[in-house]
Chain A
Amino acid sequence: MEIPYTYKPRPDTGLYNAKVGIWLFLASEIMLFGALFSSYILLRVTSPAGEWPMVEKAWPHGLLNIPIGTFNTAVLITSSVTVVLAWAALKMNQFGKFRIYMVITLLCAFGFLGIKSFEYNEKFTHYELRLKNGQVHTGHIEVNGKHAGFWDFGSIYNLERLGKEQVKEISFTADPAKPKPGEKHAEGASHEHKKMTVKVEEISKLDAFILRNHTFFAIYFVVTALHGLHVLGGALVLGYFAFPGAKFWKKNPEQFTNRIEVAGLFWHFVDLVWIFLFPVVYLL
């Protein structure tokens, strides 16, 4: 028994099964990310004013690393074009070229994830510090002379934990004063990182830039992590087709080409999500 139209298009719809399937799946993905975007907008417009220290507005702004984000956008766009070129190569019967493009795509995919995890780490080790006298700083901390390592969840501190471990003081390296976008850099403003010692009893809030700090970080991490999982999943599938699964090319080139097209559609969609995600969370 065989299922009809697994790779030959059905005459009246002009489509093979997997293509219908992937587009349906993408439709559901649109609703999934759509719900998250809606949530982002709703949380943002209803967020209570004066919650966030760095800006006058309620919603944190300018805390993400824009150059890195821009670079990552370019990486993802590149992978998107190479995957469609890989498909085109198969169409033109050039298997070697196909492999090369797939390898570039995979490099981009894992590059994207690597960069993203650096970015994440930057946030995990970056702190918001509020003092009882009303001062607010952001920067990095050292507790008992130790920094946090790479993806080192064990050394994320907050006030509660400092109390529990009976830490009396921490050292704090404040970020250099940053010009607001569009503003000229004030003459002679200090560029250096100021290191200071802070008594724990003077602190009213201390928290890293992690999910629980603010709904902005909560949604930032949830959306980008979900997107990251899609990148990972897509990369695994593409990796499978580029290497172990490529044997199928000999058996049925047409079906193999279709598989690449379908995997590619998913990959473009992941890129498409990022195209909206990047300006919305980084820039606006």
Chain B
Amino acid sequence: MASTSSHTAASYGVTHDDHHHHEPGFFQKYIFSTDHKVIGIQYGLSSLAFLFFGFLLMMAMRWQLAYPGKAIPVFGALFEKVLGTDMAQGGVMQADLYNSFGAMHGTIMVFLAIVPLAFGAFGNYVTPLQIGAPDMAFPRLNMASFHLYFLGGVVMLGSFFIPGGAAKSGWTSYSPLATLADPVNVIDGQTLWLVGMVLLITSSLLGAVNFITTIIQLRARGMTWMRLPFFVWAQFVTAFLLLLAFPPLEAAGLMQLADNVLGTSFFLPTGLVTSAGQVPVSGGGSPLLWQHLFWFLAHPEVYVLILPAMGVVSEIIANNTRKPLWGYKSMVYAAMSIGFLSFIVWAHHMYLTGMGTKVATFFQTTTMMISIPSVIILTALFISLWGGSIRFNTPMLFAVSFLPMFGIGGLTGLPLGFNASDIYLHDSYYVIGHFHYVVAPGTIFGLFAGIYYWFPKMTGRYMSETLGKIHFWGSLLGMNLVFTPMFIQGMKGMSRRMSDGGATYFGADDIALTLNKSITHAAVLLAVFQLPFIYNFFASIRNGRKAESDNPWGATTLDWATPTPPPHGNFLTEPVVYHGPYEYSAPGAKQGFVAQDRKS
């Protein structure tokens, strides 16, 4: 053991542990592992599978939007068989199926794909490495949180196959629709959605506790707060968002569960009348209460979707411009302000539920305030490009194109944030365009960049650059062709969540309907360009070009100071940090950069 008198010396002995001499079995190694890297990979593979599944759901919906009433090719017959004729009669997507797929697309993309990929996978794999820790602070809790996530996913998927089908009230699950949507079955899709959400929320809470404790307690010696890579800061703020924003939705979920199965009326007001007559509940509840509790989570949640991606992008930009991030400190403070403010802007999703001037003014003021730190982070990244020596490898291509894509998404958030313009744009395709620009070419690009970037650390091999570039250019084109036309549809007043693509409101030759078709075609194009990625991902694990060293990108942060792939316990000797995170091209540096753990 190299280090002597250190207070954590015992932690880093890889040979000193007598209990671990025997090779762990398959289950111990891959299913019940407590190693943060294995858990990270578990999260990664499951969430990529969910991402793909969420995309497939959307492809079926896009078919229906472009060709309403026409049978879905290939899958139509399958849907009819598996999900029942009332869902897909003759292979045609019925309104209920559309709503159900829509709700599940949103839920799966947000809670089962992007958050687990950004926070669960990258967070787990990279954070302990970057702060120089041997593992997470509570390894068994970490495992439990993955298992809860997985269980939640199984419950969500299972809900497709129960009578009545999966939840069909949007990912927002507004009451009273969520409660009244299926009057026949008591255990309906919504019930399983709620059970699944409670599991997922609990998983995220445990994850958040673990991350924050790890970052506070397990930083290596010398790793002061302002020497943390920006990625770690992003994860830190994200974890706080999850920790404090999720519980109110858990409470709301329990209450809606009671409304669904126990006949309470937390969210059901007095005087509900349906075609079956007066709804037999006591009434007295408040539908808006659900919305408040939901958005209290869901607005911070959108920053959960974006902050880790910003973290990844920052690492890659610093690395490939070969210079320090410009304004690192202001980025850190901006991330913290985003985190703080994101708790008090939620009602900008509720302007049109009936809001007086005072409250509306409060919420739009905070909304405008929160756009400033985003501008600060983006600006800092832009300025970081200036004076660099930019290498355009695949991770960098994805990372730099994150910037304008997030820019478009963020800028289109402004007219939604002003309540006066939201009057017209609310719940139109403009909103769909806005947030997909942030989450799809935004976050997904950031995460793709991360996959290409850390792949050599995880496997010791590069992914193919050629296939990577095909994937990049195809995705960039596809994403823009899919989402730009949505702004025009929104401007035309096309509402979201329309199972016929707006055919009830627009004449057959209206441009809004023409665009529906072109968007769908672009989505097919987008899908085709994912194939090289999927092939590249799996093929490169065994056949990719070997990485030259443990630090093939010439990076400064501690994650590259480990053997490849990092062993259990990560570091061979206790890492000690002497420098800030991005000492690229520092004057006098020998290899053009100064690693964080290099003495002097």
Chain A interface residues toward B at CB < 8 A: 1-5, 8, 10-11, 13, 15-18, 20-21, 24-25, 27-29, 31-36, 38-39, 42-43, 46-48, 51, 58, 160, 211-215, 218-219, 222, 226
Contact = CB atoms under 8 A, between A and B. Distances in A.
A67 to B, nearest CB: 27
B255 A34 contact: no
A24 B289 contact: no
A66 B250 CA distance: 30
A21 B247 contact: no
B264 A212 contact: yes
B340 to A, nearest CB: 15
Chain A residues touching B, majority SS:
helix
A36 B251 contact: yes
A93 to B, nearest CB: 25
A4 B8 contact: yes
Contacts of A21: 137-138, 141, 209-210, 213
A211 B251 contact: no
Contacts of B14: 1
A4 B262 CA distance: 47
Interface in B235-292: 243-248, 250-252, 254-255, 258, 262-266, 270, 280-286, 289
A16 B138 CA distance: 12
5 contacts: A3-B135, A17-B218, A35-B251, A212-B281, A222-B254
A4 B209 CA distance: 17
A237 to B, nearest CB: 14
B562 to A, nearest CB: 13
B477 interface: no
B96 to A, nearest CB: 27
A217 to B, nearest CB: 8
Given A27-B244, A212-B264, A51 B284 contact: yes
A215 B246 contact: no
B255 A39 contact: yes
Contacts of A25: 205, 209
A37 B213 CA distance: 28
B410 interface: no
B208 interface: yes
Interface string B126-149: 000000011111110100000000
Contact of A31 (B209, B212, B248): B248
Nearest to B13: A1
A138 B208 CA distance: 48
A46 B270 CA distance: 11
Given A1-B13, A32-B251, A43 B218 contact: no
Nearest to A51: B284
A24 B250 contact: no
Contacts of A43: 266, 284-286, 289
A27 B243 contact: yes
B531 interface: no
A198 B414 CA distance: 64
A33 B14 CA distance: 44
A66 B10 CA distance: 56
A215 B283 CA distance: 8
A212 B213 contact: no
Nearest to A217: B264
Interface in B167-199: none
Given A28-B209, A212-B264, A215-B282, A1 B251 contact: no
A260 to B, nearest CB: 18
A186 B302 CA distance: 61
A226 B139 contact: no
Given A4-B8, A13-B216, A21-B213, A211 B243 contact: no
Given A5-B218, A212-B281, A29 B247 contact: yes
